Structure 1
Amino acid sequence: MDIYNKSDYISYNFQWNSLDFPKITVLLGPFYLFPTFYIVGKMAKLFFDANQTTMASSIQKHLFMAFLFMQIANFFYIITDFIVVRIPATGILTSICAQIAPNQVLKLPYLIAFISSYVSMLFPVIFCANRAIIVFYPKNHNEICRRFMKFSLPITVILPCCFTFFMVPAVGHCTQLTAPYPMGAVMFTLDLKVRINEYTHLLTSFFCTLFTFSINITMMVKVRHILFQKKFFNRNINKNYKAEMSLTITMVLVFIPFLVNGIVVVLSLRDPSLIGYILSIRPIAIDTATVFEPWAFYLTHPFFGRYKRKTTVSSFPRNATSSVSTQPI
């Protein structure tokens, strides 16, 4: 329901003294997001410091860059979610929104949120693809990854714009969220008459999930085979095994946003009355993946061992073909 020029919403009085779940969601966010911002920034610093050393050539820099871009895209997605849903849902903007006629400016938060959603789905694909190149082309993976990144990074900008071009003529407005959100809890949305947005989002999520799942299963089989060979020849695989486990945990967490997006779209298409309930639990699932991915990678991967963070970061030793294939960075 559009709230424009509705007297109940114009006179709505926002108060912090009554805590409901929209306010709790907004207040809790900084407690786990800011430490995650810090840890990703620290990971980036360690990587760039290591990249300046003489051992820089042994770091899988394209894979690490894809991981950092993936985290930045996730952060951007969460920030836009705060702007479009979480903050307006507290009621702090309700009275102001009720006095503003639907216009093109109100469309921008919703449009940017969907662009960031598509970007956050595409970067895990790039991340997985880089790892697949390292596993299957260990001898010349640096050159192949360089070419792939040069091609794929512009695609992550072009595709979201193509997927959202039909939103450009639409007009933005504020609408009341359905139960279990209380009266006065609103969000930014568009006056689209068709559901092309939901179907496009669902198909994108499906194909991104299918690709990442398929490529990860294939890589796990390949890497396990390599580790088995190294164990058979009595080679030391402890570091490679830890790196593989770290990346496996990270890749499992990557699937959470895909799963959440798919469930949200399917349920909203089947029963629009469930949208309010979906949006109420969606932030928890999205934030969980965004927070756990970098922390799991940082705490479990041998690259970030404490003994490597005193002055400069020691990179992995230059390896033979089978060894390089199992290293994520």
Structure 2
Amino acid sequence: MDIYNRSEYISYSSKWSSFSFPLFTMLIGPVYLIPTFYIVGKMTKVFLESSKFTTVSIQRHLFSAFLLMQLGNFFYILTDFLVLRIPATGIWTSACAQMTPNQLLKMPYLLAFISSYLATLFPVIFCANRAIIVFFPKNHNEVCGRFMKLSLPVAVFLPFLFTWFMVPAVGHCTQLTSPYPMGSVMFTLDLKVPINEYIHLLTSFFCTLFTFSMNITMLIKVRHIIFYKKSLNRNMSKNYKAELSLTITMISLFVPFLVNGIIAVLSLQKPSLIGYILSIRPLLIDSATVFEPWAFYWTHPMFRRHRRKTTVSGSPIAMIVTSSVNSR
């Protein structure tokens, strides 16, 4: 329901004294997102400083893809705050009710769709880079470089291609359905333009299928390498750690795909449930954004508090750094 020029919304005043779940959803986010920003910041620092030192060897294309994936996730969460979480608290309700539907009100919703596509496409680039390292251990730098030059422009262009028809629309604020209370609103578009959910659902499906197939193939390859080295009685510690990092981060990558797919399907099949879907959506997309960097940070040897001495290794499953690790 459009709230424009409705007296009950113009006179609405948000009650911060009543701790409603929209307020909880907005306030709980920074509790776990701020430490995640810090962790990603530490990873970025390692990446930027890696070229200055000879003691750390980094797969720069893979690391770049990882940081872009996190940037896409953070952008997605930021737009979710603008479109849903903050308006749902009622803090902007009165002002929105007095604003004629216009192009400016459209921008948060349009940016949310663009950021959602980026958060879906960047993990594909990250997984593809890891697959290249595993399957092309001798010339992976060259192959990854060519792949990044091709894939990054495509990943940035596609979100705009998929949302261009939304540009003529005007934005407005609408009352959220149950279980949201009266006064909880969100930014959306008028109904005079085609909906985007079908394109979004297909994109999520094909990205999920591609990523799943690629990761399963990678795991099979890694297990084969580990089995072969075990038969030669080689030290398997690094390889098992790399496999653990690969497995955990692979699982974490499926969370945003699964969330986006479920939301798109339920939105199309059960519109009456859209309020309940939106009420749990923030926590689900946050969990995906938080779990990926923390899982990678805690499982990969590179980020442990140890002294590193670089050794040149031909192991294709030492995916980001090849180092011998000694305690301080």
TM-score range, shorter chain: over 0.9
**Range with greater deviation from structure 2 (4-13 or 187-196):** 187-196
Question: Cα deviations across residues 105-154 of structure 1 (Å, max 9, x unaligned)?
Answer: 10000000100000000000000100111111111000110111111111
Aligned to 2:205: 206
Q: Paired residue for 1:318?
A: 312
Quick check: 1:244–1:327 contact (8 Å CA) kept in 2?
no
Partners in 2 of 1:315 and 1:98 — Cα distance? 62
Where does 1:114-263 land on structure 2 (aligned, <5 Å)?
A: 114-193=113-192, 195-263=194-262
The AA in structure 2 aligned to 1:149 is: M
Per-residue deviation, residues 190-220 of structure 1 (Å, max 9, x unmatched): 0134654010100000010000000001110
Distance in 1, Cα, partners of 2:51 & 2:317: 20
Structure-2 separation of matches of 1:146 and 1:315:
26
In 1, Cα distance between equivalents of 2:212 and 2:262: 17
The secondary structure found in structure 2 opposite 1:174 is strand
Deviations 1:239-296 (A, max 9, x none): 1211220121011011001101100010010111110000000111111111111111
Q: Is the 8 A contact 1:243 1:328 kept in 2?
A: no
Match of 1:91 in 2: 90
Counterpart AA for 2:313: N
CA distance in 1, matches of 2:67, 2:22: 30
AA at the equivalent of 2:141: N
Task: Tell me by how many angstroms 1:315 deviates.
Answer: 6.5
Distance 1:190 1:146, change over 3 A: same
> Which residue pairs with 1:109 in the alignment?
108
Q: Please give the alpha-carbon distance, in whole angstroms, between the structure 2 residues aligned to 1:230 and 1:236.
A: 8
The structure-2 alpha-carbon separation of the partners of 1:174 and 1:315, relative to structure 1 and needing over 3 Å to count, comes to farther
Letter in 2 for 1:327: M
SS of the residue corresponding to residue 154 of structure 1 reads: helix
SS in 2 for 1:139: coil
TM-score normalised by L of structure 1: 0.95
Paired positions, count: 321
1:39 is matched with 39
Q: Is the 8 A contact 2:74 2:289 kept in 1?
A: yes
Q: CA deviation at 1:92?
A: 0.3
Match of 1:192, SS state, is: coil
SS at match of 1:306: coil
Helix, strand or coil for the counterpart of 1:164? helix
AA partner of residue 319 (structure 2): Q
- The aligned amino acid for 2:13 is N
> What is the TM-score when the length of structure 2 is the normalising length?
0.95
Q: Secondary structure in 1 aligned to 2:188?
A: strand
Q: Provide the secondary structure at the position in 2 that maps to 1:324.
A: coil
Give the equivalent residue in structure 1 for 2:326. none
Report sequence identity in percent: 70
Q: Distance in 2 between matches of 1:275 and 1:307?
A: 48
- Aligned match of 2:28: 28
Mapped contact 1:88–1:186 kept (Cα < 8 A): yes
CA–CA distance in structure 1, aligned partners of residues 188 and 273 of structure 2: 17
Residue 3 (structure 1) aligns with: 3
CA distance in 1, matches of 2:306, 2:48: 17
SS in structure 2 opposite 1:234? coil
Q: Distance in 1 between matches of 2:184 and 2:291?
A: 29
Does the aligned pair in 2 maintain the 1:136–1:325 contact within 8 Å?
no
List runs of 5+ in structure 1 lacking aligned partners.
309-313
Give the drift of 1:55: 4.8
Structure 1, 173-182 or 46-55: larger mean CA deviation: 46-55
